[in-house]
Amino acid sequence: MSRVAQPNLGQVLSGLLQALLGWAPVRAAQGRLKDWGVTGRMAVTAVPYLWLLVFFLVPFFIVLKISFSSVEIAMPPFAPLIQWANDKVMLIRLNLGNYQFLWEDALYSSALLNSLKMAGVSTIMALLVGYPMAYGIARSSREWRNILLMLVMLPFWTSFLLRVYAWIGLLGINSPINQMLLALGLINEPVSLLQTDWAVYIGIVYSYLPFMVLPLYTAIEKLDGTLLEAAADLGCRPTRTFFSITLPLTKEGIVAGCMLVFIPATGEFVIPALLGGPDSLMIGRVLWEEFFNNRDWPVASAVAILLLLLLVGPIMLYQRAQQAAGGAHR
């Protein structure tokens, strides 16, 4: 059988790159950049920084700016921060009222506290469900492992909104679950979890479980099995081994999983809106209402900034823990 060697895409691209780098103007520009202290390595690392600058830092400053302005019936519906009087004098009108308003109106602080509570409870629930799952996957045979991981990620292939919507049917009065429980005689009349905090917990745990399972799986899979054998050899029973060896050595995975669930769950909007009741007010929903219903962009922006500041705290703690762990393991 004769086969003509066909260059693959990677080879073609690297060939093109080589040709491009050899081109005289490119080389000249490269030399110039080098004179300024810019090297190829810097150019490569600059890409993610550039991305963050354009798509995170710039929008952040825009939101920050809006949060300091005041409402106006205009397009866009807020007063500009900087105005020119007589085209000569620059006027900066910094409005701190939005933040004061958030502070004074109990609605926002209670919504924020409620969000933290809801996110915290669902994170713990996700951890309790996710850890055994991740452990089971990490300890299963190689063929099974991939299938199980695939099953964990499978829900991502359908729309998030659709999946949350499906829970309305599962939690309502006429749900198949209720009918089954009735038929079994476990309950006398149908119960609805819809519009309760429990529905929101279920929704969050269900939606964010993969974010908990995957880092946990990575941590547990990395755990050296001989350490568990060593513990057993030294007279440690399996349950104690779990708490004194397995749990502390998978701490990084636990922290990562909890962060990945807690942070988005705090600002979650769709799940409380679809499954939660009127009393399970979460900050995401408040933000939505300010933005779309009240068209109060400045207050909505202030809420967003506040939420961000609140979440930066745990993120920084997490980073520090990671660094400390990295230092200890070296």
Partner 1 sequence: MANTRPDEKLKPWQDPQAVPYVRIERVTKRFGDFVAVNQVSLDIYQGEAFCLLGASGCGKTTLLRMLAGFEDPSEGRLFIDGQDMTGIPPYERPVNMMFQSYALFPHMSVEDNVAFGLKQDGVPKAERQERVSEMLKLVALDGYGKRRPQQLSGGQRQRVALARSLVKRPKLLLLDEPLGALDKKLRENTQFELINLQEKLGVTFVIVTHDQEEAMTLASRIGVMNHGRILQTGTPSDIYEYPTSKYVADFIGSVNMFEGRLVEDEPDYVRIESPELGGTVYVDHGVSSAPDAKVWVAVRPEKVRLDRERPDQPDNAFGGTVKEIAYLGDVSRYLVALDSGKLVRVTQPNTDRRDDRVTWEERVWVSWSPGANVVVTQ
Cβ-based nearer residue to partner 1, 96 or 227: 227
Q: Six-digit token pair at 300?
A: 């909505």
Q: How far is CA 31 from CA 44, 45, 287, in A?
A: 17, 19, 51
How far apart are CB 234 and partner 1 at their closest, in Å? Answer: 4
How far apart are CB 218 and partner 1 at their closest, in Å? Answer: 17
**Three-state secondary structure call for residue 112:** helix
Cβ-based nearer residue to partner 1, 202 or 245: 245
Cβ-based nearer residue to partner 1, 72 or 229: 229
Task: Give residues in contact with partner 1 (CB under 8 A).
Answer: 224, 226-227, 229-237, 240, 244-245, 248-249, 328-330
How far apart are CB 219 and partner 1 at their closest, in Å? Answer: 13
- Specify the long-range contacts of residues 240-244, CB closer than 8 Å, at least 24 apart: none
Phi, psi of 32 (to 5 degrees): -60, -50
Cβ-based nearer residue to partner 1, 3 or 237: 237
- Separation between Cα atoms, residue 326 and residue 319, nearest integer Å: 10
Q: What is the DSSP letter of 186?
A: S
How far apart are CB 254 and partner 1 at their closest, in Å? Answer: 13
Q: Which amino acid is at 61?
A: F
**Three-state secondary structure call for residue 137:** helix
- Separation between Cα atoms, residue 210 and residue 327, nearest integer Å: 28
Q: Which amino acid is at 312?
A: V
Cβ-based nearer residue to partner 1, 31 or 248: 248
In the beta sheet, which residues pair with residue 91? Answer: 83
Q: Which amino acid is at 118?
A: M
Residue that is written with structure tokens 């400390």 in the block: 324
How far apart are CB 248 and partner 1 at their closest, in Å? Answer: 5
Cβ-based nearer residue to partner 1, 46 or 324: 324
Query: How many other CB atoms are there within 10 angstroms of residue 198's CB atom?
Result: 15
How far apart are CB 241 and partner 1 at their closest, in Å? Answer: 8
- Of 73, 75, 95, 92, nearest in space to 84 by CA: 92
How far apart are CB 240 and partner 1 at their closest, in Å? Answer: 7
Q: Which amino acid is at 227?
A: L
Cβ-based nearer residue to partner 1, 62 or 325: 325
